[in-house]
Amino acid sequence: MEDTISAVATALGEGAVGIIRISGPRSLEIADKIFITPKGRLLGSYGSRHMVYGNIKDIKENIVDEVLGVFMPGPHSYTGEDVVEIQCHGGIQSLQTILRLTFAMGARPAEPGEFTKRAFLNGRMDLAQAEAVMNIIKARSQEALKLALRQQKGQLSDEIRHIRGELKDVIVHLEAIIDYPEEDIEELTFKEVQDCIFIGLNAVNNLLAKAHTGKIMREGLLTAIVGRPNVGKSSLLNCLLKEERAIVSEVPGTTRDVIQEQMLIEGVPLILTDTAGIHKTEDFVESIGVEKTKAILADAELAIVVLDGSEQLRMEDKEILSSIEGREHVIIVNKGDLPCLVDMKALEAKFGPQNILTLSVKTAQGVEEFVQWLKNFVYGAEGSVEKGVFVQNARHEQLLLATKKSLKDALHATEKQIPYDCIVIDLRNAIDNLGAITGETVQDEIINEIFARFCLGK
């Protein structure tokens, strides 16, 4: 890693301040060629970690911008290398001119995520921590930010290392028995091996149980509000959004197109989709809406089925209810301000009382309970994101699933009392997959792929 890289670290556009970051062995040398204080001193002459006022000059010694510069020597910098940051005026011209000067003096353009990649390669952070940097930048809510910060501090990595360490111990022991059969090594019984694997499997399962929360925090929960016409779907969307987004009217078939809005409910990012009421219709435009609704429902991670509590269930309601069987759902019996004509007992018997809520959009009665239901759905037993380790990246989830499979295979092998060699192979797969999360056992291509998804200058 001999070369020195440079990029604009701040968002492009007009801003008060823009930052150019240079990292690598020639950082200071490059800075000293373009930065000069009014008294003619160079940045390097101020030592490390001093914010120094000065000017950037071009090759012809013309002043290009008035800036602040700071030198952060490795290894205690973000990348672990010598880093210089220049704070200039946050305009595109200023930033691009200074950036080009750094290139002219010997830096090369950084690739997306290359600073953080160097931090990882220099051991400043492991892979899961490096990935958390992007989660921090992309966090959509305070809760998502908290989770990302905890991952960046190494909470997930510590847990993974712990599980991995325990499994490694079992492997080492089993291998000793395999390699030195004549030695007097204390024999691990199949039962003991089983117990150790079981503990590992449990820990992996615990992490996986919370991957669902992490994914929602990262991407938002894709929900579809569905129901037959006129039950109050658009009213519910407006009520949750606290604005009159969708047209509400007493005419059935008011909503014809899909309306999608993003919102936060107590920190839960929701992608809320209001849809056209599902029913058989001769109206061409409306029938397109109904088809779209079905497609949205198929993709949704949560179906919010709205029923009109003031009327008995119709055929259409029943069809919609049967279409959500086997998928995540909540049933809202709306218009709770009117006498209830829906057979709640039959509904509860079929769908379980925990996923059925009575609500009135009109009076807002039951809305709080619905929000609570959503929070339970997202946070599960944890109740919030305040405590616990949450898996936030799809990559980590996939690796944990692979680990789970290997551990299950290993467990199976112990049950059948298959020779230790085979168990060791499964356990090795498990620890390799765990190691790929923290980056200890991961191929270069995957590392490149991960950092390529980062933003430029990070």
Answer for the pair 8, 18: CB distance below 8 angstroms, yes or no.
yes
Which of the stretches 207-215, 252-260, 330-338, 383-391 binds Mg ion when contact is defined by CB under 5 A? 252-260
**Residue written as tokens 């940097």?**
133
Residues 255, 273, 392, 403: which binds ligand GTP (CB under 6 A)? Answer: 255
Residue 329, beta-bridge partner list = 303
Residues 73, 106, 109, 252: which binds ligand GTP (CB under 6 A)? Answer: 252
Residues 135, 255, 293, 414: which binds Mg ion (CB under 5 A)? Answer: 255
102 binds, among Mg ion, ligand GTP, none (CB under 5 to 8 A by kind): none
281 binds, among Mg ion, ligand GTP, none (CB under 5 to 8 A by kind): none
Answer for the pair 82, 23: CB distance below 8 angstroms, yes or no.
yes
Q: How far is CA 123 from CA 298, 352, 439, 440, 445, in A?
A: 44, 51, 10, 11, 18
Q: What is the DSSP string of 326-359?
A: TS-EEEEEE-TTSPP-S-HHHHHHHH-GGGEEE-
Answer for the pair 433, 406: CB distance below 8 angstroms, yes or no.
yes
Residues 121, 195, 253, 288: which binds ligand GTP (CB under 6 A)? Answer: 253
Q: Is residue 273 a contact residue for Mg ion (CB under 5 A)? A: no
- 198/421 Cα distance (integer angstroms): 18
Q: Is residue 254 a contact residue for ligand GTP (CB under 6 A)? A: yes
Residue 346 beta carbon to ligand GTP: minimum distance, rounded to whole angstroms: 22
Q: Is residue 161 a contact residue for ligand GTP (CB under 6 A)? A: no
Residues 6, 102, 234, 281: which binds Mg ion (CB under 5 A)? Answer: 234
Q: How far is CA 36 from CA 32, 40, 101, 197, in A?
A: 7, 6, 14, 62
SS3 content of the chain, % helix, strand, coil (to 5): 50, 15, 35
Q: Residue 392 burial by CB count (10 A; 0-12/13-18/19+): exposed, middle or buried?
A: buried
Q: Is residue 293 a contact residue for Mg ion (CB under 5 A)? A: no
Q: Is residue 341 a contact residue for ligand GTP (CB under 6 A)? A: no
Q: Is residue 151 a contact residue for Mg ion (CB under 5 A)? A: no
Q: Is residue 223 a contact residue for ligand GTP (CB under 6 A)? A: no
**Interface contacts to Mg ion, rule CB under 5 A:** 233-234, 254-255
**Interface contacts to ligand GTP, rule CB under 6 A:** 227, 229-235, 248-250, 252-255, 276-277, 334-335, 337-338, 360-362
